A and B are shown apart, each in its own frame.
Chain A
Amino acid sequence: MATVDDMVPPGEDPAPYHEHVDDPRRRDFINIAAVSFAGVGAVAIVLPLINQMNPSADVLAASTTEVDVSKIASGQAIKTSFRKQPLFVRNLTPKEIAEANAVDVGSLRDPQTLAERTKPGKENWLITLGVCTHLGCVPLGAGEGENKGPFGGYFCPCHGSAYDTAARIRQGPAPKNLVVPDYNFTSDTTVLVG
């Protein structure tokens, strides 16, 4: 490792030029500083390379959906689309509400009451994503005549997850209830989701 500044032959006293050799030497310090600076630069370049994979502005811009619920009769449900994912809007019957409220919350896999999953005074409007929390299939039960499963809510045909009338997971491999997105009623018949 002879470099230009190692002018002193091995075994000889370096005294004439340097009174003592620092460890680390000035040159080592500059070396480490330069490489560190290049490293910081490399990390700064990696950040946009990672961030480019996040949802782009146009994908995020399409992330609210307005739904007109005036035509949905009691006991009916519609499928619409929110952030390119299916969205279920369901008008629960009084019987379905009573069924959902009769369940012991403590016994659920993902404990939530119907009231926590709906808006105050609008308990009959169950609005959830139509994405099974297992592996993302679209559960059946929103369309006319579809299999609602053993708990009268939704049933996922892929791996047999069954949801109740509050779209809570009751049976099968899915770990969570169907996701309730952020939404609010802008009027009595209009819902803004997202």
Chain B
Amino acid sequence: MSFPWAKHYEPKQPLMRWLDEKLPLPRLVYNAVGAGYPVPRNLNYFWNFGVLAGLALAVQIITGVTLAMHYAANAGVAFSSVESIMRDVNAGWFLRYAHANGASMFLLVVYIHIGRGLYYGSYKAPREMVWLLGVVIFLLMMATAFMGYVLPWGQMSFWGAQVITGFFSAIPVVGETIRVWLLGGFAPDNAALNRFFSLHYLLPFVIAGVIILHIWALHIPGSNNPTGVDVKGEQDTVPFHPYYTAKDGVGVGVFMLVFAALIFFSPNLLGHPDNYIEANPLSTPAHIVPEWYFLPFYAILKSFTADFILPAKLWGVLAMFGSILLLFFLPWLDSSPVRSANYRPKYRLFLGVLLLDVLVLGYVGGAEANARNVILGQIASAYYFAHFLIILPWVARSERPRPLPNSITEAVLAKHGGTSLAHSAVTA
């Protein structure tokens, strides 16, 4: 694990030496996020987002555990217990707004983190396992976010649960039985609310466990970098601490500014007013929309309007899950040996188009289902799949990449007008 020039943990205090012999926990931390982990010297601010995602998870767990001290997972009182958190519990409004907006911040930084991986080819060998575990974390996050959104038991909570568990009834023959089993009833009710609360409390700790595997798998080859070129020697790296702990600190500051702006100035910006109406099983809101972070997937679900061998509903559900499961195959769909899009002009262009495409899907997901939007959604959904299944393999074969630098150090020095190691030693 890690590079041969990594610094070794040498505790100086007798107490720390005693601890290191009995339980080498400080040694583990030192090697994972301390001076014992050598990292490429050229990382840019996009490399902040892994740490920021970890921070967002910690925020969610702390605010979530405290909210659970006041929340009652019973369909009769859930809605009023949330209102009592907002009005009566000391600082309850702050905890709830931090938790609700914290979910948006978590998904936001994770989407940027995934985008970073796509742009700089972090999913490619030797980091495939890091990518696969990341997709698992993403799926767990989506399940956790969905179940958390049901807990306030407002109109959007209830009808979101109705629609999402309705996906399972698309499965031929056994679908309805599975749906009833998942809900513990024939429609979302007390049984469903209770089990969603139980799982919503459990899954973040499962996510934390998979994050440990994700970091473990990352530390075997070491971090990728903006050139995508492998680390060749000690001159290409700096220790994680203090160099990247400091750089991550800047990102944490910016994250907190955005987070605080949401909580204190616009706490309901990303929510839906309908969720402040208590759940009513006999009345559907005029416009059911999921939270912003699910909109592109919701657009793919809505794009199937006609039966073709299988019912349209089943196609929609398959395509929606398929759009995420596709990411598991990404390391093998893109066969280009060059990682960074900085040296792949065609790939970079198509990645930009994909970003636009996902934004269009997000728009369609939240918009009314009129004829124009349905067509727009169908084209954008088709392009999403075409990007991964057709364009990517074709680009990998036909593209002529720009010349790669011989090493990370050479790339860094060329950027700063230097030519030799001696020069870098002077400027450093």
- Known A53-B181, A175-B313: A158·B288 in contact at CB below 8 Å: yes
In the complex the two chains form, is A54's CB within 8 Å of B184's CB? yes
Any A CB within 8 A of the CB of B305: yes
- Name the A residues within 8 Å of B185 (CB-CB): 55, 59, 83-84
Any A CB within 8 A of the CB of B186: yes
Any A CB within 8 A of the CB of B312: yes
Which residue on chain A has the smallest CB distance to residue B288? A158
Any A CB within 8 A of the CB of B180: yes
CA distance A55 to B179 in the complex (A): 11
In the complex the two chains form, is B369's CB within 8 Å of A137's CB? no
- Known A135-B162, A173-B312, A173-B313: A157·B284 in contact at CB below 8 Å: yes
- Name the A residues within 8 Å of B163 (CB-CB): 135-137, 158
- Name the B residues within 8 Å of A109 (CB-CB): 307
CA distance A137 to B281 in the complex (A): 9
- Name the B residues within 8 Å of A83 (CB-CB): 185-187
In the complex the two chains form, is A81's CB within 8 Å of B313's CB? no
Any A CB within 8 A of the CB of B195: yes
Output the residue of A83, A173, A174 with the most chain B CB within 10 A: A173
CA distance A136 to B191 in the complex (A): 18
Which residue on chain B has the smallest CB distance to residue A134? B313
- Name the B residues within 8 Å of A63 (CB-CB): 186
- Known A79-B282, A175-B312: A160·B189 in contact at CB below 8 Å: no
- Chain A 153-173, CB within 8 Å of chain B: the 1/0 string? 000011110000000000011
- Name the A residues within 8 Å of B312 (CB-CB): 173, 175
In the complex the two chains form, is A137's CB within 8 Å of B282's CB? no
- Name the A residues within 8 Å of B311 (CB-CB): 175
CA distance A54 to B185 in the complex (A): 7
Within 8 Å by CB of B284, from A81, A138, A172, lies A138
In the complex the two chains form, is B184's CB within 8 Å of A173's CB? no
- Closest Cβ–Cβ distance, residue B230 to chain A (whole Å): 41
Output the residue of A55, A63, A136, A174 with the most chain B CB within 10 A: A136
- Chain B 286-322, CB within 8 Å of chain A: the 1/0 string? 1110000000000000101101000111101000000
Any A CB within 8 A of the CB of B283: yes
- Name the B residues within 8 Å of A152 (CB-CB): none
Which residue on chain B has the smallest CB distance to residue A52? B184
Which residue on chain B has the smallest CB distance to residue A51? B181
- Known A84-B187, A86-B281, A159-B302: A53·B195 in contact at CB below 8 Å: yes
- Closest Cβ–Cβ distance, residue B85 to chain A (whole Å): 26
- Known A158-B288, A159-B369: A173·B304 in contact at CB below 8 Å: yes
Any B CB within 8 A of the CB of A74: no
In the complex the two chains form, is B186's CB within 8 Å of A137's CB? no
- Known A54-B181, A56-B191, A137-B288: A81·B369 in contact at CB below 8 Å: no
- Chain B 185-219, CB within 8 Å of chain A: the 1/0 string? 11101010001000000000000000000000000
In the complex the two chains form, is B284's CB within 8 Å of A54's CB? no
CA distance A137 to B166 in the complex (A): 10
- Name the B residues within 8 Å of A138 (CB-CB): 282-284
Any B CB within 8 A of the CB of A112: no
Any A CB within 8 A of the CB of B159: yes
- Name the B residues within 8 Å of A54 (CB-CB): 180-181, 184
CA distance A135 to B161 in the complex (A): 10
Any A CB within 8 A of the CB of B33: no
Which residue on chain A has the smallest CB distance to residue B281? A84
- Known A53-B182, A137-B159: A85·B191 in contact at CB below 8 Å: no
Which residue on chain A has the smallest CB distance to residue B371? A160
Please report which residues of chain A, range 100-142, place their CB below 8 angstroms from some CB of chain B when the two chains form the complex.
109, 130-131, 134-138
- Name the B residues within 8 Å of A59 (CB-CB): 184-186, 189, 191
- Known A159-B302, A174-B313, A175-B312: A84·B189 in contact at CB below 8 Å: yes
In the complex the two chains form, is B369's CB within 8 Å of A160's CB? yes
- Closest Cβ–Cβ distance, residue A97 to chain B (whole Å): 26
Which residue on chain B has the smallest CB distance to residue A55? B185
CA distance A130 to B187 in the complex (A): 12
- Name the A residues within 8 Å of B281 (CB-CB): 81, 84-86
- Closest Cβ–Cβ distance, residue B191 to chain A (whole Å): 7
CA distance A160 to B181 in the complex (A): 28
CA distance A81 to B280 in the complex (A): 12
- Name the A residues within 8 Å of B369 (CB-CB): 159-160
CA distance A18 to B19 in the complex (A): 53
Which residue on chain B has the smallest CB distance to residue A131? B187
- Known A54-B181, A86-B282, A134-B313: A173·B186 in contact at CB below 8 Å: no
- Known A134-B313, A136-B166, A175-B311: A81·B282 in contact at CB below 8 Å: yes
In the complex the two chains form, is B187's CB within 8 Å of A157's CB? no
CA distance A136 to B168 in the complex (A): 11
Which residue on chain B has the smallest CB distance to residue A79? B282
Can you report 24 A-B residue pairs in the complex whose CB atoms are below 8 A from each other? Answer: A53-B181, A53-B195, A54-B180, A56-B191, A59-B185, A79-B282, A81-B281, A81-B282, A83-B185, A84-B187, A86-B282, A130-B282, A135-B313, A136-B165, A138-B283, A158-B163, A158-B288, A159-B302, A172-B305, A173-B302, A173-B312, A173-B316, A174-B313, A175-B314
> Would you list the 3 A-B pairs with minimal beta carbon distance, nearest first?
A175-B311, A83-B186, A135-B166
